[in-house]
Amino acid sequence: TGTVALIPAAGMGTRLGEDQPKAFVDLGGTTILERSVDSALRSSVFSRVIVVVPEDMVEHARELVPEAEVVAGGAERSDSVRAGLAVIGAAERVLIHDAARALTPPDLFVRVDDELRNGATAVVPVLPVVDTLKRVDTVDHEVIETVDRAKLRAVQTPQGFTHTALQLAHAESGDATDDAGLVEALGSRVQTVHGDQYAFKITTAFDLRIARLLLADEAT
Ligand code: CTP
Ligand code: MG
């Protein structure tokens, strides 16, 4: 019952290029996984937190985040989400949150959950796009056109869903990096709320450096 946090943390972090799976990389005393779980718990939104990690990291993860339930993930993100969904049982709402967004502030979880409690079926945090966007020809690298960014938004997590809508969306197999996209494909409405710059995803070595600097700065 209530709202369940589902935190996919089973990726390898290939683009990050560290010598361990991304969720287990240290941010200066705590791992990415611990940071994400801690932030989710501090929001006071969740009745349960389920984290999905690589199969050989399950025992280690149970030691790192004893407050969470830990299950083994799969090859693609959507496999990991489905592995988490499989153990949810009864729940009203589910927030899916990339472990890699380790600096996400607790109030973003609250904002997404509130929107669901107010009747939304699916909710995504979004930010305006700050860079100019151009469509290019990927063969000759020439600009085709400049895209109007006024109506474009960059999507973050946590993404929130009614449990029913999420189960329907993931009933079919296939890879999807964006859970809300699956709900959209079924014809359901997806609501947006203001995202947060701190909810950026640690993807590259540059992002990791930023995350560590921000945390070190906070600590002083
Ligand atoms: N994820 C997962 N299972 C997978 C792939 C990804 O649980 N098979 C999770 C990651 O752990 C991460 C989130 O989905 O928290 C977003 O994925 P991404 O940032 O792409 O992480 P990785 O897949 O680990 O990174 P990369 O694509 O660079 O390997
Ligand atoms: Mg990935």
Pocket flag, ligand 1, residue 136 (CB < 6 Å) = no
Ligand nearest to the CA of 99: 1
- pLDDT of 213 strictly over 70: yes
State the chain's mean pLDDT as an integer.
96
pLDDT at 178: 85
Beta bridge partners of 4: 48, 94
Confidence band of 48 (pLDDT split at 50, 70, 90): very high
Q: Determine the structural domain holding residue 25 and report its residue range.
A: 3-219
Q: Which of 50, 30, 36, 41 has its CA nearest to residue 101?
A: 36
Atom of ligand 1 nearest to the CA of 202: 19
Q: How many domains does the chain have?
A: 1
- Complex ipTM > 0.90: yes
Cα 8 to middle of ligand 1, angstroms: 7
Could you report the per-residue pLDDT of 69-96, keeping only the tens digit for each?
A: 999 999 999 999 999 999 999 999 999 9
Q: Which of 161, 168, 167 has its CA nearest to residue 189?
A: 161
Could you report the per-residue pLDDT of 142-201, keeping only the tens digit for each?
A: 999 999 999 999 999 999 999 999 999 988 766 777 899 999 988 999 999 999 999 999
pLDDT at 177: 76
Here the CATH number for the domain that contains residue 155 is 3.90.550.10
10 Å CB burial of residue 62 (0-12, 13-18, 19+) is middle
Q: Reduced to 3 states, what is the DSSP secondary structure of residue 181?
A: helix
